Protein backbone atom coordinates (compact mmCIF):
# COMPACT_ATOMS: atom_id res chain seq x y z
CA UNK A 1 0.00 0.00 0.00
CA UNK A 2 2.77 2.43 0.87
CA UNK A 3 3.41 5.20 -1.65
CA UNK A 4 4.35 8.61 -0.25
CA UNK A 5 5.46 7.11 3.06
CA UNK A 6 8.75 5.22 3.22
CA UNK A 7 8.57 1.50 2.37
CA UNK A 8 8.28 -0.73 5.40
CA UNK A 9 10.82 -3.27 6.62
CA UNK A 10 11.08 -6.16 4.12
CA UNK A 11 10.00 -8.69 6.77
CA UNK A 12 6.76 -6.95 7.68
CA UNK A 13 3.38 -8.18 6.48
CA UNK A 14 0.89 -5.86 4.85
CA UNK A 15 -2.28 -5.78 6.98
CA UNK A 16 -5.11 -3.71 5.56
CA UNK A 17 -8.82 -3.24 5.04
CA UNK A 18 -10.35 -1.85 1.83
CA UNK A 19 -13.78 -0.23 1.75
CA UNK A 20 -15.83 1.49 -0.94
CA UNK A 21 -16.40 5.18 -0.30
CA UNK A 22 -19.31 7.38 -1.31
CA UNK A 23 -17.57 10.65 -0.41
CA UNK A 24 -13.83 11.08 0.00
CA UNK A 25 -14.51 14.69 1.04
CA UNK A 26 -16.59 13.45 3.99
CA UNK A 27 -13.88 11.01 5.07
CA UNK A 28 -11.24 13.71 4.73
CA UNK A 29 -13.30 15.97 6.99
CA UNK A 30 -13.69 13.20 9.58
CA UNK A 31 -9.95 12.60 9.50
CA UNK A 32 -9.36 16.26 10.28
CA UNK A 33 -11.94 16.17 13.10
CA UNK A 34 -10.18 13.16 14.63
CA UNK A 35 -6.81 14.93 14.52
CA UNK A 36 -5.32 12.80 11.75
CA UNK A 37 -2.04 13.95 10.21
CA UNK A 38 -1.61 14.22 6.45
CA UNK A 39 1.50 12.28 5.39
CA UNK A 40 1.23 12.27 1.60
CA UNK A 41 -0.62 14.90 -0.46
CA UNK A 42 -2.86 14.01 -3.37
CA UNK A 43 -0.79 12.46 -6.14
CA UNK A 44 -1.09 10.26 -9.21
CA UNK A 45 0.05 6.64 -9.21
CA UNK A 46 0.70 4.28 -12.09
CA UNK A 47 1.00 0.60 -11.18
CA UNK A 48 2.23 -2.16 -13.51
CA UNK A 49 1.76 -5.83 -12.60
CA UNK A 50 4.24 -8.32 -14.06
CA UNK A 51 4.02 -12.06 -14.68
CA UNK A 52 5.57 -14.74 -16.85
CA UNK A 53 4.01 -16.23 -19.95
CA UNK A 54 2.32 -18.97 -17.94
CA UNK A 55 0.83 -16.59 -15.38
CA UNK A 56 2.50 -18.39 -12.49
CA UNK A 57 2.45 -15.40 -10.17
CA UNK A 58 -1.27 -14.86 -10.66
CA UNK A 59 -2.03 -18.57 -10.28
CA UNK A 60 -0.15 -18.57 -6.95
CA UNK A 61 -2.11 -15.43 -5.92
CA UNK A 62 1.16 -13.49 -5.72
CA UNK A 63 1.88 -10.08 -7.21
CA UNK A 64 4.94 -8.33 -8.61
CA UNK A 65 4.27 -4.61 -9.02
CA UNK A 66 6.25 -1.66 -10.34
CA UNK A 67 4.74 1.56 -9.02
CA UNK A 68 5.53 5.09 -10.13
CA UNK A 69 4.42 7.92 -7.84
CA UNK A 70 5.82 11.20 -6.54
CA UNK A 71 8.89 10.94 -8.83
CA UNK A 72 9.73 7.58 -7.23
CA UNK A 73 9.62 4.03 -8.52
CA UNK A 74 9.00 1.16 -6.12
CA UNK A 75 9.22 -2.57 -6.87
CA UNK A 76 6.94 -4.66 -4.67
CA UNK A 77 6.34 -8.37 -4.19
CA UNK A 78 3.17 -9.51 -2.42
CA UNK A 79 2.44 -13.07 -1.41
CA UNK A 80 -0.93 -14.79 -1.29
CA UNK A 81 -3.48 -13.05 0.93
CA UNK A 82 -5.38 -14.48 3.87
CA UNK A 83 -8.38 -12.85 5.53
CA UNK A 84 -9.52 -12.51 9.13
CA UNK A 85 -12.71 -10.56 9.79
CA UNK A 86 -12.43 -8.80 6.44
CA UNK A 87 -8.85 -7.69 7.14
CA UNK A 88 -6.28 -8.81 4.59
CA UNK A 89 -2.81 -9.97 5.58
CA UNK A 90 -0.08 -10.86 3.13
CA UNK A 91 3.70 -10.90 2.93
CA UNK A 92 5.05 -7.75 1.33
CA UNK A 93 8.60 -6.91 0.29
CA UNK A 94 9.40 -3.69 -1.49
CA UNK A 95 12.32 -1.53 -2.48
CA UNK A 96 12.83 1.82 -4.17
CA UNK A 97 14.64 1.59 -7.48
CA UNK A 98 16.57 4.46 -9.03
CA UNK A 99 15.73 3.71 -12.67
CA UNK A 100 12.29 2.45 -13.66
CA UNK A 101 13.25 1.74 -17.28
CA UNK A 102 16.26 -0.34 -16.27
CA UNK A 103 14.09 -2.23 -13.80
CA UNK A 104 11.64 -2.99 -16.60
CA UNK A 105 14.56 -4.29 -18.69
CA UNK A 106 15.69 -6.52 -15.83
CA UNK A 107 12.18 -7.92 -15.44
CA UNK A 108 12.00 -8.55 -19.18
CA UNK A 109 15.35 -10.37 -19.00
CA UNK A 110 13.81 -12.64 -16.38
CA UNK A 111 10.95 -13.46 -18.74
CA UNK A 112 8.42 -11.19 -17.05
CA UNK A 113 6.15 -8.80 -18.93
CA UNK A 114 3.58 -6.23 -17.93
CA UNK A 115 0.19 -7.93 -17.72
CA UNK A 116 -1.97 -5.19 -16.21
CA UNK A 117 -1.81 -1.49 -15.40
CA UNK A 118 -3.99 0.35 -12.91
CA UNK A 119 -4.00 4.02 -12.05
CA UNK A 120 -5.31 5.99 -9.13
CA UNK A 121 -5.11 9.33 -7.38
CA UNK A 122 -4.14 8.85 -3.75
CA UNK A 123 -3.58 10.86 -0.60
CA UNK A 124 -2.52 9.41 2.75
CA UNK A 125 -3.22 10.26 6.37
CA UNK A 126 -2.12 8.84 9.72
CA UNK A 127 -4.50 8.15 12.60
CA UNK A 128 -4.19 5.75 15.55
CA UNK A 129 -0.86 4.50 14.10
CA UNK A 130 -2.69 3.45 10.92
CA UNK A 131 -2.09 4.75 7.41
CA UNK A 132 -5.35 5.71 5.71
CA UNK A 133 -5.28 6.02 1.92
CA UNK A 134 -8.02 7.87 0.08
CA UNK A 135 -8.08 6.48 -3.44
CA UNK A 136 -9.88 7.83 -6.49
CA UNK A 137 -9.86 5.24 -9.27
CA UNK A 138 -11.47 4.83 -12.71
CA UNK A 139 -14.04 2.50 -11.12
CA UNK A 140 -14.89 4.50 -8.00
CA UNK A 141 -13.52 5.76 -4.71
CA UNK A 142 -12.08 3.60 -1.93
CA UNK A 143 -10.51 3.87 1.50
CA UNK A 144 -7.64 1.58 2.51
CA UNK A 145 -6.61 1.38 6.16
CA UNK A 146 -3.32 -0.29 7.03
CA UNK A 147 -2.02 -1.11 10.51
CA UNK A 148 -2.60 -3.39 13.47
CA UNK A 149 -5.99 -5.20 13.17
CA UNK A 150 -7.29 -3.78 16.45
CA UNK A 151 -6.35 -0.23 15.45
CA UNK A 152 -7.79 -0.73 11.96
CA UNK A 153 -11.17 -1.58 13.51
CA UNK A 154 -10.95 1.47 15.75
CA UNK A 155 -10.23 3.74 12.78
CA UNK A 156 -13.14 2.24 10.85
CA UNK A 157 -15.41 3.14 13.77
CA UNK A 158 -13.96 6.64 14.15
CA UNK A 159 -14.55 7.35 10.47
CA UNK A 160 -18.09 6.00 10.56
CA UNK A 161 -17.38 3.31 7.97
CA UNK A 162 -19.14 -0.05 7.77
CA UNK A 163 -16.71 -2.98 8.20
CA UNK A 164 -19.26 -5.36 6.66
CA UNK A 165 -18.57 -3.62 3.32
CA UNK A 166 -14.91 -4.68 3.33
CA UNK A 167 -13.70 -5.71 -0.12
CA UNK A 168 -11.50 -8.84 -0.21
CA UNK A 169 -10.06 -8.05 -3.64
CA UNK A 170 -7.04 -6.25 -5.02
CA UNK A 171 -7.67 -3.50 -7.55
CA UNK A 172 -6.64 -5.92 -10.32
CA UNK A 173 -9.20 -8.51 -9.23
CA UNK A 174 -11.85 -5.88 -8.61
CA UNK A 175 -11.36 -4.52 -12.11
CA UNK A 176 -11.46 -7.99 -13.68
CA UNK A 177 -14.83 -8.57 -12.01
CA UNK A 178 -16.05 -5.17 -13.22
CA UNK A 179 -15.01 -6.00 -16.79
CA UNK A 180 -17.05 -9.18 -16.63
CA UNK A 181 -20.08 -6.98 -16.02
CA UNK A 182 -19.02 -4.36 -18.59
CA UNK A 183 -16.82 -5.80 -21.39
CA UNK A 184 -16.59 -2.34 -22.97
CA UNK A 185 -14.09 -1.29 -20.28
CA UNK A 186 -10.46 -1.09 -21.51
CA UNK A 187 -8.05 -3.94 -20.63
CA UNK A 188 -6.20 -1.72 -18.13
CA UNK A 189 -7.76 0.26 -15.26
CA UNK A 190 -6.70 3.70 -16.44
CA UNK A 191 -8.27 7.13 -16.44
CA UNK A 192 -9.80 7.97 -19.78
CA UNK A 193 -8.96 11.41 -21.20
CA UNK A 194 -11.70 13.97 -20.65
CA UNK A 195 -13.76 14.52 -23.81
CA UNK A 196 -12.93 17.69 -25.70
CA UNK A 197 -15.49 20.45 -25.50
CA UNK A 198 -17.08 21.74 -28.67
CA UNK A 199 -16.02 25.29 -29.57
Domain range for 164 is: 13-181
Quick check: is 5 in a domain?
no
Quick check: is 81 in a domain?
yes
Cα-Cα-Cα-Cα dihedral sign, residues 167, 171, 177, 182: positive
Listed residue (124, 64, 72) closest to 99, CA to CA: 72
Quick check: is 193 in a domain?
no
Report the number of distinct structural domains present in the chain: 1
Residue 164 has pLDDT above 50, yes or no: yes
> In this predicted model, what pLDDT tens digit does every residue of 3-23 receive, in sequence order?
544 444 444 799 999 999 999
Quick check: is 8 in a domain?
no
197 pLDDT band (50/70/90 cuts)? low
Residue 77 has pLDDT above 70, yes or no: yes
What is the per-residue pLDDT for 153? 96
CATH of the domain at 88: 2.40.320.10
Gap between the Cα atoms of 4 and 75, Å rounded: 14
Quick check: is 1 in a domain?
no
User: With a threshold of 0.85, does the pTM exceed it?
Assistant: yes
What is the per-residue pLDDT for 192? 85
Largest CA distance in the chain: 56
> In this predicted model, what pLDDT tens digit does every residue of 123-155 receive, in sequence order?
999 999 999 999 999 999 999 999 999 999 999
Tell me what the mean pLDDT of segment 74-81 comes to: 96
Quick check: is 61 in a domain?
yes
Lowest mean pLDDT among 8-12, 157-161, 162-166: 8-12
Find out whether 63 and 76 touch, Cβ atoms under 8 Å.
Answer: yes
Residue 170 has pLDDT above 50, yes or no: yes
What is the per-residue pLDDT for 7? 44
What is the per-residue pLDDT for 193? 76
Vertex 145: Cα angle to 137 and 70 (nearest 5): 55
Residue 37 has pLDDT above 60, yes or no: yes
196 pLDDT band (50/70/90 cuts)? low
Quick check: is 41 in a domain?
yes
Vertex 141: Cα angle to 27 and 133 (nearest 5): 55
Residue 62 has pLDDT above 70, yes or no: yes
Question: What percent of the chain clears pLDDT 90, i.e. is strictly above it?
Answer: 86
Gap between the Cα atoms of 149 and 99, Å rounded: 35
Quick check: is 199 in a domain?
no
Gap between the Cα atoms of 149 and 142, Å rounded: 19
Amino acid sequence: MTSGAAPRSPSRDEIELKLPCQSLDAIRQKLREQGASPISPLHFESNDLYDDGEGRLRSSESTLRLRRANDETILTYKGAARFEGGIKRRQEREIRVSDGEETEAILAGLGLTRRFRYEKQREEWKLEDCVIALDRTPIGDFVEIEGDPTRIRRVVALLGLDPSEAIPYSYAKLYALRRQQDPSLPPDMVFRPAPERSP
